[in-house]
Amino acid sequence: MTDTLDVPDTAVWEDWTDERGWGDGLPTVAPTEERVEAMLAALPDGAGDGLAALPPSGVTPTLRSVAANAVMAGCRPGVLPLLLAALEGVTTPGYNLHGSLATTHPCAPMVLVSGAARAGFHGGGNCFGPGNRNNATLGRALSLVLLHVGGAQPGTLDRSTQGSPAKYTFCFAESDESPWPGLDVQRGFGPDNGVVSVMAAEPPHNVNDHGSTTGLGILTTVAGTMAETGSNNVYVRGPHLLVLGPEHAATLHRDGWDVASVREHLWREARIPVEKISPGNREQFVEWGVKPEGDSYTVSTGPEQLHVVVAGGAGKHSAWIPSFGATELVSVRVRR
């Protein structure tokens, strides 16, 4: 696609996108010269240096093409530095962008905003849902870049069996109500940095626990949710993200739990009994070099793959976000 277009009429632009197979199926904003220039004007010096080639097409995006896709997604100009950080993250080898775009798995590029970058993003109630423009458009812009420049067209190079709504957009921020350091600090960034983390992930799986009155009780429910026989993590052994609702996090904190102890406990307790795995899957696991520990399977390779953040609003719900498995949670500092 061209970087910018002079489109005076919205209906004309929508006809062009339909004819050319552009977009994600939802209406987009025409990337006129004026709009793209306004997007680029928000960038600090050096931002966008070293953009990497995107699989499966092998095409390296220009800064203008990234800005044009941000316009199409409806982004405000200030979101562009975060989009560039997300692109840097997904092109890190450990993320496995090619595998995650071409797989039959329903994974989507999840974007988590932490630290100083959270301003204008939403990490409160309904943080995975509608209502915040920055959340909605950053996740969508990343998906559009991968679609238009990376060439991950559904049904051709994107071979996802069913896909998921997260492929439209999957972006949220950490809550400011967390009793523990955010993921940015957990991963070694300074408290004043803005950080974007990405992971090839399934949509959130709800963890409903209204009955437990202790942190241990809540973690018992979480561990049971994570012990899912149909997850890639059972045999591909990748990262998980636990997004604790503030009420669950407050109970855990009250009872003396911190992020490290939560991770260690879930690593010990989130186990899948061998008898819950079908004989055919057990045979496949052996081919992948995965064997049970005693009478159960672990859900990954160790507690370092179980990441914990706090997001959401009132209510005794949390969320488990399993990954594609063959990916890593990658964190990148946002240039401001």
pLDDT > 70? residue 8: no
Q: Give pLDDT, residue 325.
A: 96
- pLDDT per residue as tens digits for the range 46-80: 777 789 999 989 999 999 999 999 999 999 999 99
pLDDT > 60? residue 1: no
3 state DSSP class of 236: helix
User: Within a domain: residue 106?
Assistant: yes
Among 47-51, 74-78, 111-115, 316-320, whose mean pLDDT is lowest?
47-51
Question: Between β-strands 171-173 and 108-115, what pairing exists: parallel, antiparallel or unpaired?
Answer: parallel
Looking at the structure of the chain, the number of domains it has is 1
Percent of the chain with pLDDT over 90: 87
Q: pTM for the whole thing?
A: 0.95
State how far the Cα of 196 lies from the Cα of 307, in Å rounded to an integer: 14
Provide the b/e sequence for 48-78 (b: ≥16 CB within 10 Å): beebeebbbbeeebebbbbbbbbbbbbbebe
Among 5-9, 92-96, 122-126, 227-231, whose mean pLDDT is lowest?
5-9
User: Within a domain: residue 4?
Assistant: no
Among 45-49, 136-140, 151-155, 175-179, whose mean pLDDT is lowest?
45-49
Tell me which residue range forms the domain holding 307.
Answer: 10-333
User: Within a domain: residue 47?
Assistant: yes
- Contact call for residues 208 and 317 (beta carbons, < 8 A): yes
pLDDT > 80? residue 149: yes
User: Within a domain: residue 3?
Assistant: no
User: Within a domain: residue 122?
Assistant: yes
Mean pLDDT for the chain?
Answer: 94
- Contact call for residues 149 and 69 (beta carbons, < 8 A): yes
Q: How many CB atoms lie within 10 A of CB 154?
A: 13
User: Within a domain: residue 129?
Assistant: yes
Q: Give pLDDT, residue 267.
A: 97
User: Within a domain: residue 52?
Assistant: yes
Tokens of 292: 């049970």
pLDDT greater at residue 257 or residue 17: 257
Q: Give pLDDT, residue 7.
A: 58
pLDDT > 70? residue 3: no
User: Within a domain: residue 279?
Assistant: yes
Percent of the chain with pLDDT over 70: 97
